[in-house]
Amino acid sequence: MKSALDLIVAAGEEKQAQDILILNIRAEGRVLDYMVVMTADSRPQIKAVITEIGKKLKEKVRWQGEVESGWVILDLGSIVVHVMDPEQRAYYNLEDLWGTEAVVYHI
């Protein structure tokens, strides 16, 4: 049985998201265990990725943000997924907040 992280990554890969990164932030004492960050080149691709994640997880996912903004956040309890366009990803550079030691998967 695949884990939720495996399904999220598979959904991103199926919809051609790039630079998929899983960060283990559990050690920081946060409520979250993992943060997933991925890049989508267009607004339709962002929508396709979040829709596919919902299909893979077999649940309706709720997101924050607007697809038109270029950044959508999915709150899945212990996992938070950020689907961002290249400009938002470069500007906010979320992965640098946690450092390379938090990276558990990068494709």
| 65 Rama sector, left if φ>0, alpha if ψ -120 to 50, beta otherwise | left
CATH number of the domain that residue 64 is part of = 3.30.460.10
By residue range, what is the domain housing residue 42? 4-106
Per-residue pLDDT tens, the chain, 107 aa: give them.
Answer: 579 999 999 999 999 999 999 999 887 666 788 999 999 999 999 999 999 999 999 887 788 899 999 999 999 988 999 999 999 999 999 888 877 777 787 87
The angle that helices 4-14 and 43-57 make with each other, rounded to 10 degrees, is: 140
What local confidence, expressed as pLDDT, does residue 31 receive?
76
- Quote the pTM value: 0.90
- The number of folded domains in the chain is 1
Q: Are 11 and 56 in contact (CB under 8 A)?
A: yes
> What pLDDT score does 30 carry?
64
Q: Tell me the DSSP string of 18-58.
A: EEEEEEE-GGGT-S-SEEEEEE-SSHHHHHHHHHHHHHHHT
pLDDT mean across residues, the chain? 90
User: Do the beta carbons of residue 98 and residue 33 sit within 8 Å?
Assistant: no
pLDDT at 68: 93
**Beta-sheet strand order (sheet of 63-64):** 63-64, 71-75, 79-84, 34-39, 18-24, 103-106
